[in-house]
Amino acid sequence: MSTLDKINQLKQERDAVILAHYYVNDEVQAIADYVGDSFYLSKIATSVEAKTIVFCGVSFMGESAKILNPEKTVIMPDKTADCPMAHMADIEKINQVRKEYKDVAVVCYINSTAELKTYSDVCVTSSNALKIVKALPNQHIFFIPDEHLGRYVAAQAPEKHFIFNDGFCHVHKSITQRSVAKTKEAHPGAEILVHPECTGEITAMADYVGSTSGIIEYAAKSSAEEFIICTELGVLYELKAKNPGKRFYSAGESQCCPDMKLITLEKIAYALEHMTNTVEMEEEMRLRANRPLERMLELG
Ligand code: 13P
Ligand code: SF4
């Protein structure tokens, strides 16, 4: 039996649904029931009826699915797939900022550990961060863990006072002004599409800035025929499928998230067969991490 047939059979037996982020390997996106950006996937996780969710992505995604759906079994095909940025904030610093600014809102990018979420007031993703920050009554915003998304949002919410943290995504940070300019020189008609985890130098060069879904939607609607992609290159699978006549160029040499690429068909089949790599969490932690996630779903 092929791995694909095995996965399909096990999906029936285990009443499972497969969710995948746009950054995972093409063959995994191809067999997923739902593929999307972080916000879409967290919403879908709350509405699927299947008893088991196989989350093809990194650990904060599986954790968020479990936090929002304690009664479901959430499987991570590779539990070592983790987002380094998810750990790049400090509880002591959060407590210190809370002491300093009485009305501060700790706004936590969903790319964060469950523990960091428990210390936060609201979660955001790249597709709803601005909307949520603007909707908050608080004047002071401590944005964790990603400095670059924080600065991008802050520039559009001048009515708020931001405190930044120094977390970053190594994949997006590796995209340089020089390499984007060089690619643009080679393809002057190309539009530059940028994820807000990139540095301010790169968002300043963009024709469009948005989440992975936003980038995919923009490219489909745009009348341009060429695009320079400033995010992880897993998005090319959907971009090419939706736009067979358009051309896409990478803007750097290391736009690959090694953690996302750990997910393979074989690992999905193995985890489903043995029901291993389930996400487990203490109920107290889950309840505390659930609050900011639910608030995001309400406001976002
Ligand atoms: P989005 O899919 O929400 O744009 O997030 C990008 C990302 O880095 C996920 O790890
Ligand atoms: Fe984390 Fe960056 Fe990988 Fe997204 S692309 S999972 S932010 S390391």
pLDDT of residue 238: 98
Binned at pLDDT 50, 70 and 90, residue 40 comes out as very high
Nearest residue to 129 via CA among 98, 103, 160, 99: 160
According to the model, what pLDDT value does residue 254 have?
A: 84
Residue partners of 35: CB distance under 8 A and separation at least 6: 19, 20, 21, 22, 29, 238
Distance 157 CA to ligand 1 centre (A): 21
Distance CA(21)–CA(221), nearest Å, equals: 21
Atom of ligand 1 nearest to the CA of 39: 3
* Residue pLDDT, tens place only, 209-238: 999 999 999 999 999 999 999 999 999 999
- Predicted confidence band of residue 252 (pLDDT cuts 50, 70, 90): confident
Residue whose CA is at the smallest distance from ligand 2 atom 7: 169
How far is it, in rounded angstroms, from Cα 268 to Cα 214? 27
Arithmetic mean of pLDDT, 22-34: 98
Residue 30 has pLDDT above 90, yes or no: yes
Which tokens sit at 116?
Answer: 């960091």
Confidence band of 246 (pLDDT split at 50, 70, 90): very high
Q: How confident is the model over 83-136, as pLDDT tens digits?
A: 999 999 999 999 999 999 999 999 999 999 999 999 999 999 999 999 999 999
**What's the pLDDT score for residue 70?**
95
Mean pLDDT of 247-268: 95
Instruction: Determine whether the shortest distance from the Cβ of 169 to ligand 2 is under 6 A.
Output: yes
Full DSSP string of 52-98: EEEEES-HHHHHHHHHH-TTSEEE-S-TT---GGGG---HHHHHHHH
Domains of the chain: 3-83+260-282 (3.40.50.10800), 85-168+289-299 (3.40.50.10800), 175-250 (3.40.50.10800)
Nearest atom in ligand 1 to the alpha carbon of residue 197 is 8
Ligand 2 pocket, mutate which of 257, 261, 263 (most atoms under 8 A from CB)? 257
Atom of ligand 2 nearest to the CA of 23: 5
Q: How far is the CA of 13 from the centre of ligand 2 (A)?
A: 32
> From the alpha carbon of 169, which atom of ligand 2 is closest?
2
Contact 290, 121 (CB under 8 A): no
269: its two tokens: 């089949």
